[in-house]
Amino acid sequence: MTSAPFRLAPGGTVGIVGGGQLGRMAALAAARLGYRVHIFSPEPDSPAAQVAAAATVAAYTDPAALESFARAVDVVTFEFENIPADSVRRLAEIVPVRPSWTVLETAQDRIVEKRFFNGIGIATAPWRAVDGVAALEAALAEIGRPAVLKTARMGYDGKGQVRIDADTDAAAAWAALGKAPGGAAGSAILEGFIDFQGEISVVIARGGDGAWAAFDPAWNVHRHHILHTSTVPAPIPAATATAAIDIARRAAEALDVIGLLAVEMFVTPDGLLVNEMAPRPHNSGHWTIDACLTDQFEQFIRAVCGLPLGSPRRHSDAVMTNLIGDEAADWLDLLRDPEAHLHLYGKAEARPGRKMGHVTRLHRPGGGFDEATMI
């Protein structure tokens, strides 16, 4: 079946499922292009709803709320991918949903995701699906230690992960995982621990016409399993950057993504290994707001609405630093640097580990790394 390419003219309403900071920044980008945004989120006064024209506050599984949301918008996309299949199906019966369920389904489950990447010839850490202590012990015998045990679903910011060292008891590791979000389902993945040189990510946009545009790979440093900084350019050779973009493009094409795909990778002496992906704007792409001709949020809206993609060209070097928990309380000091770009997400309560905002500092292009500091 072929149909005319979908295009939503400015003035239309973009529905975004999820109410966090990614939805907030996407809503701001949509507003700049003349769209109205309607947020669907279980959280009242969510960061995204604060800047949107309309909001539905309801559970992701509420059929009546999903139906009236779908009827109130012209296209639906997601800033959060852990949406039940049935909810996405209900939405898609009424309104175009981009990206499609296949993409969300693949990104929701680490086992499906790894199988997908390996299936298109893209390397990952060695892994085994495990569903209990016996399977975990067998997988450890094959993969060896150290290793990382992760819940297959619902993990984020290092939640739902247990590192298994030489002396870690498999039964204890399995029990610890059971207490994490998604752990109760009993489906998990064991990954070999990668002694990487660093972590990078690529955010790629792809339109319904197959056109794509990728941002420069960002160099990501985590603290307490939460992204701390993203730096561009990444201190990697040009060939590695090209290979990373090629991986993101192949994945986006194989999944027929319409929207954004962010792919996280480990840089190793033997090449790149994909860690995970997300079919939406990504924390490691926030630097694009201040350092690129078109940022990830505008590119997301353009792709979802069937508009031509903008140029992802980077005009400055940049370092994006996340403000976690109390760190956003320093907003006045951060603003005292007149060249710092401060972004706050409107979250009332600064819980530990919560992403409250970010700050991006730009530098003259080419001022970053020289060959000697490269990986």
Ligand X SMILES: Nc1ncnc2c1ncn2[C@@H]1O[C@H](COP(=O)(O)OP(=O)(O)O)[C@@H](O)[C@H]1O
Question: Measured between alpha carbons, how far is 372 from 375 in angstroms, rounded to an integer?
Answer: 8
Per-residue interface string for the shown chain with ligand X, residues 247-266, x marking contact by CB under 6 A = -----------------x--
158 assigned to a ligand binding site:
yes
Of 369, 368, 370, 364, the residue nearest 316 (C-alpha): 364
Q: Pick from 43, 53, 57, 193: which binds ligand X (CB under 6 A)?
A: 193
CB-nearer residue toward ligand X: 101 or 193: 193
CA angle 134, 139, 140 (to 5 degrees): 100
276 assigned to a ligand binding site:
yes
Q: Pick from 15, 99, 155, 233: which binds ligand X (CB under 6 A)?
A: 155
222 assigned to a ligand binding site:
yes
| Helices and strands counted in the chain (H then E) | 11, 17
CB-nearer residue toward ligand X: 49 or 319: 319
For 52, what's the count of Cα atoms within 13 Å in the CB-facing half-sphere? 31
Tell me how far, at minimum, the Cβ of 34 lies from ligand X, in Å: 34
Tell me how far, at minimum, the Cβ of 125 lies from ligand X, in Å: 4
The conformational region for residue 232 under phi > 0 = left, psi -120 to 50 = alpha, else beta, is: beta
194 assigned to a ligand binding site:
yes
366 assigned to a ligand binding site:
no
Please name the helix (run of DSSP H) or strand (run of DSSP E) that holds residue 356, with its range, or none.
Answer: strand 355-363
Question: Measured between alpha carbons, how far is 314 from 317 in angstroms, rounded to an integer?
Answer: 7
Residues in contact with ligand X, counted by CB under 6 A, come to a total of 15
Question: Measured between alpha carbons, how far is 52 from 48 in angstroms, rounded to an integer?
Answer: 6
Question: Measured between alpha carbons, how far is 167 from 153 in angstroms, rounded to an integer?
Answer: 26
Q: Is 148 in the site for ligand X (CB under 6 A)?
A: yes
Q: Pick from 89, 222, 223, 313: which binds ligand X (CB under 6 A)?
A: 222
Length of the chain in residues, anyone? Answer: 375
CB-nearer residue toward ligand X: 284 or 296: 284
> What one-letter code names the amino acid at 273?
L
Q: Is 194 in the site for ligand X (CB under 6 A)?
A: yes
120 assigned to a ligand binding site:
no
To the nearest 10 degrees (0 to 180), the angle between helices 110-119 and 238-254 is 110
Decide: helix, strand or coil at residue 126. Answer: coil
CB-nearer residue toward ligand X: 35 or 174: 174
> Can you read off the two tokens belonging to residue 30?
């949509």
Q: Pick from 113, 276, 290, 317: which binds ligand X (CB under 6 A)?
A: 276
Q: Is 224 in the site for ligand X (CB under 6 A)?
A: no
121 assigned to a ligand binding site:
no
Tell me how far, at minimum, the Cβ of 144 lies from ligand X, in Å: 12
191 assigned to a ligand binding site:
yes
Annotated binding site: 110, 150, 155-161, 191-194, 199, 222, 275-276
Residues making contact with ligand X (CB under 6 A): 125, 148, 155-158, 191, 193-194, 199, 222, 225, 264, 275-276
